[in-house]
Structure 1
Amino acid sequence: MIEAILSIPMAFALGSIGFAARSAPDGRHTRVQLLHLVCGSILSMIGIMVMALTAWSTHEDQHYDDFGSALTTLAALMGGALFLFGLGPLTSWLLGILGRRAVHLPLPMRLAAHDVADNRARTAPAVAATMVATALAIAVMIIAVATTAQNRAEYYPQVRSGALLVQWFSAEEAAAVRAAIQQELPGVPITQVDRQRENGHFGLDIENVEFPDLESVAPAGIIGDHALLRYLTGDPSTPYDENTAVVVTADDVEVDKVTIHYDFDFARNDESLLTKSIPVIVVKPADPHMEELFLPAKIMRDLGYHLEPDKMIIDPSIHRTSMIEQERLDRRLGDTATTYIERGFQASTGWWVFVVAAVVVALGSALAATGQVGDSRSRRVLLRVGGDSTAPLRSLAACRAGLSAACGTAMGAAAGCTIGLLLVWPMTASVEWDPMPRVAFDTPWSLIAALVVGLPVLAAVIAGLASPGTTARVVPADETRVSR
């Protein structure tokens, strides 16, 4: 379904190639029809307006509805595709300008510009393909860098760095899960996190301390034994008392008690909840992100709760689980539970595959734009100038490829930067109820510059090396009669 939806803007973007072919005139001196240029300009302006509108509508750091955000993103993509579609006739116009204004260029460059402009019905679609591929590559680079920076800022580790987390198993499967861990990691202690079996009201009231989970639907605090507290603090000497709660936080806070509000009946109102005050101490966490309220299991049992295993953790201070060990444990557990090793934020690199593929397409299109255009006139001129040497012909091929690539990448870079910088707003809009403000990101200008400069140079080198190594010398007509 998603692929079908995304294929719509992609089809519009690729339509720029057909629009360029349709608007291409027959010869160098024939101008592009004004109707094509006007229509293309209007479509491109509409596309820019759509992208600008979606960027403005998502510029605030607030919660955006999932469905509305998806529609806004799709509208932004359609605007970008429409912008590229309207640029099709501009490629034909630019090639014509290049052919007519190449008078003062060196001979190989002048002949190359004439060759490319003389057959725009063939060259314009290929240059448009280079433009579209370059624009998509640059837009994806900008958006990927922006979303990576935002995702890194929003990332919150589940457990301590290097810890193995085993979760999403039922209470009946807990014993089998523990046995599987012990078989794969013999002799390694397992830290267990418990949960209440009973449903009902459960809340915590602590002065001067705020934890994100305390007012949520999920059970407040983290329940366990001495091993869990040692895992949270990373210090085996942390004081442990079965009747004392522990605030694990990097902040300097002063608190001496926590008030527990609870009831086993959801129908009770807040005024009839049972309350109990528990003494509290404050300790530092092993990881600044691991801020928790630790509740000893005995306190929960004394309140009348029955506990059952919720998660199992391998403390990285005792054993750092390797990838091979995790894979073996996954095979043993099957669908019983899931495993996760905390390695910090891992940036996605899949977008590089698309960028590389787009660059290859742009390069291939630039080379296809040259072909054997203008063989008769240009080759004869260069052979008369260069004699039997093939260097002028190689120079002509290199210049044709370089000019075609330069036209496509220049237009593609301008379009890609426009699309990318406008689409980062809807692409980084948050669907969370408590959104994090957008963070600054570094636009990859160096990569963009390398692509814009390097692609024409690479196309010229490839075309120059791939041109025919030998060619027939142009023979005057009188010499031909004598030889006969």
Structure 2
Amino acid sequence: MTMTEWALLVVFAIPLAFICGSVAWAANSATRDRRSPVTRRHLALGAGLCVAGTVVMALTALATREDVHYDDFGSLMTALAGQLGGLTLLLGLGPFVPWLLRAAERHAVRLPGPLRLTAHGLGDRRGRTAAGVTITMTGTAVTVATMIIASGVTAMDRAEYVPQARSGALHVKIFTAERGPAARATLRQELPAVPLIDHYRENGLLYVDVPGSWMTYKSHIGDQALLRYLTADPATPYDEGTAVMITSDDIGATSVRLRYSPTVTSSSLTEKVFPAITVKAPGPGVEGVFVPAKAVRSLGLQLEPDEFIVDPSLHRTSPAEQERISDRLGKDATTYVERGFQAPAGWIPFATVTALFALGGALVATWPPSSGSRSRRVLLRLGARSSAHWLIASRTAFRAACGTVSGVAAGCLIGLLLVWPMTASIAWDPVPRPDFVVSWPPIAALAAGLPMLTVLITTFASPGRGFPDTRAALGSPASQEPEPGDRGATA
């Protein structure tokens, strides 16, 4: 296996191991003793892990709260530490699930009759019910944390985004000069009526400086068509011996200095000053100094094609056209169309999978009771199939809600703490963090929708899932006689 495959295996195996550990711990912690459903030792150890995980996440959030440059490796290690803290928190919540179910069942006597029956069956099949609710809790927590972190990372990426060209412009980057003719021919076939703009690169060394400024500016080498594209103004004067500084800063350059060498191995550079004018940049992505191709060739430098550009004022390339051109170019060149910031959507499939994982846990927790359980005997005494189905649906919703609500709470805590190390900037000139706008409506929809979806699935699937035919069962006198342990449920 390659290093990348090993890294992916670790990335997915570690969270899965923690989640499986939490589920197994919840199932093993569910004792058969109704008075003491979870041992104090398990609860104490789980509480310790929860506190430790929360402290680790809080420390990573404090360590990355400032809007400064963070080292690449240090930022990565901090984020990984925070993620391990979140997984430790989920692991520590495992033994609290059977305790929560028992507490809900114990206090059900204070509820009205229908709600009392709903909460009364939580003690059946303790191990399976606790495991299913824990799966729902962990799946919901990971989903909610992913949604919060994705919202913060998207906001940060939007703040750091810098356009690479004018909006709608097609740039075809040439890898080598030998592939230039083939790439041009392909573009002519795909866009026969669209003018192509040549952007050159020097075959040597070329640095562009502005007197009075310490910065070295990007050079744009081409002809009049390139100047029109860079300035987005056909009235910009063009002269083969004059450079044009395109900037959004208040710089009034009247000359530029070119430092150059015909070979890349030269230890000394020749300097020459060209007159220049300054124009306002139409937007980010085109700033730099335009140098006419003829002026560069006069220095003895050889030019070769670097990019072919399609001016967006003449033709806007559609996504379908870009895909078709990219497929035809193959290894000759790469294509890029500036369409502004595009929010990443890679987290959506992951969140969908974890939400389905939580749904599966809710269904496991509501699996049909065994023939000897108290829940089955209560169903047999209800007297009508519709009443039995109502009780099944209400218990399904209650168990799913137990896992969903606790998962949403844990996910919000994890997401709001981990969003800080996950948005730590590694840029030398970091931008201030934007406000983290949490998408509460999708989180609320998940919290309310998952129990409802579980109820719908259970309701439509219940006749074929092994639930008893109550009308047939009621014909048996033995089935109608309550057992001593069930009088509290039917009172």
Q: Output the TM-score relative to the length of structure 1.
A: 0.89
CA 1:227–1:478: 2 relative to 1, 3 Å:
closer
In 2: Cα distance, 1:168 partner to 1:57 partner: 43
What is aligned with 1:221? 219
Q: Residue 309 of structure 2 is aligned with which of 310, 313, 319?
A: 313
Deviations 1:356-380 (CA, angstroms, capped at 9, x unpaired): 2222221221122122237654454
In 2: Cα distance, 1:371 partner to 1:324 partner: 48
Task: State the one-letter code of the partner of 1:440.
Answer: D
What is aligned with 2:327? 331
In 2: Cα distance, 1:257 partner to 1:289 partner: 22
In 2: Cα distance, 1:57 partner to 1:341 partner: 38
What is aligned with 2:86? 80
What is aligned with 1:137? 143
Match status 1:110 vs 2:116: yes
Deviations 1:330-354 (CA, angstroms, capped at 9, x unpaired): 2332211111222111112121112
Match status 1:245 vs 2:204: no
* 1:264 Cα offset (Å): 5.7
In 2: Cα distance, 1:268 partner to 1:302 partner: 19
CA 1:467–1:177: 2 relative to 1, 3 Å:
closer
Deviations 1:390-447 (CA, angstroms, capped at 9, x unpaired): 2221121112111111110111111111111111122112233333332222111121
What is aligned with 2:234? 236
3-state SS of 2:109 partner: coil
Deviations 1:45-75 (CA, angstroms, capped at 9, x unpaired): 1111222222222223333333333322222
Query: Is the contact between residue 124 and residue 374 of structure 2 (CA under 8 Å) also seen in structure 1?
Result: no
Q: Residue 435 of structure 1 is aligned with which of 422, 430, 442?
A: 430
Q: Comparing 326-335 with 371-380, which one deviates more in the overlay?
A: 371-380
Structure 1: stretches of 5+ with no match in the other structure: 215-219
In 2: Cα distance, 1:478 partner to 1:297 partner: 100
In 2: Cα distance, 1:286 partner to 1:454 partner: 47
Match status 1:413 vs 2:418: no
Query: Is the contact between residue 102 and residue 123 of structure 2 (CA under 8 Å) also seen in structure 1?
Result: yes
In 2: Cα distance, 1:424 partner to 1:285 partner: 35
CA 1:184–1:475: 2 relative to 1, 3 Å:
closer
What is aligned with 1:8? 14
Match status 1:449 vs 2:444: yes
What is aligned with 2:287? 291
Deviations 1:291-321 (CA, angstroms, capped at 9, x unpaired): 2221112222233322221111111111222
Query: Is the contact between residue 38 and residue 95 of structure 2 (CA under 8 Å) also seen in structure 1?
Result: yes
Query: Is the contact between residue 261 and residue 301 of structure 2 (CA under 8 Å) also seen in structure 1?
Result: no
* 1:38 Cα offset (Å): 0.4
* 1:274 Cα offset (Å): 4.1
In 2: Cα distance, 1:368 partner to 1:162 partner: 51
Q: Comparing 30-39 with 370-379, which one deviates more in the overlay?
A: 370-379
3-state SS of 1:139 partner: helix
Query: Is the contact between residue 108 and residue 395 of structure 1 (CA under 8 Å) also seen in structure 2?
Result: no
Q: Comparing 254-263 with 451-460, which one deviates more in the overlay?
A: 254-263
3-state SS of 2:95 partner: helix
In 1: Cα distance, 2:9 partner to 2:108 partner: 44
What is aligned with 1:341? 337
Paired positions, count: 468
* 1:153 Cα offset (Å): 1.5
* 1:89 Cα offset (Å): 0.4
Task: State the one-letter code of the partner of 1:5.
Answer: V
Task: State the one-letter code of the partner of 1:230.
Answer: R
Deviations 1:96-148 (CA, angstroms, capped at 9, x unpaired): 10010001223332223221124322210100000000000001101111111
Match status 1:474 vs 2:485: no
Task: State the one-letter code of the partner of 2:219.
Answer: G
What is aligned with 1:68? 74
In 2: Cα distance, 1:151 partner to 1:105 partner: 49
Task: State the one-letter code of the partner of 1:141.
Answer: M
What is aligned with 1:123? 129
Match status 1:365 vs 2:365: no
Query: Is the contact between residue 28 and residue 114 of structure 1 (CA under 8 Å) also seen in structure 2?
Result: no
Query: Is the contact between residue 10 and residue 81 of structure 1 (CA under 8 Å) also seen in structure 2?
Result: no
3-state SS of 2:331 partner: coil
What is aligned with 1:217? none
Structure 2: stretches of 5+ with no match in the other structure: 1-5, 481-491
In 2: Cα distance, 1:206 partner to 1:293 partner: 13
Task: State the one-letter code of the partner of 1:407.
Answer: C
Q: Residue 388 of structure 2 is aligned with which of 390, 393, 398?
A: 393
Query: Is the contact between residue 379 and residue 393 of structure 1 (CA under 8 Å) also seen in structure 2?
Result: no
Match status 1:100 vs 2:106: yes
Task: State the one-letter code of the partner of 1:241.
Answer: D
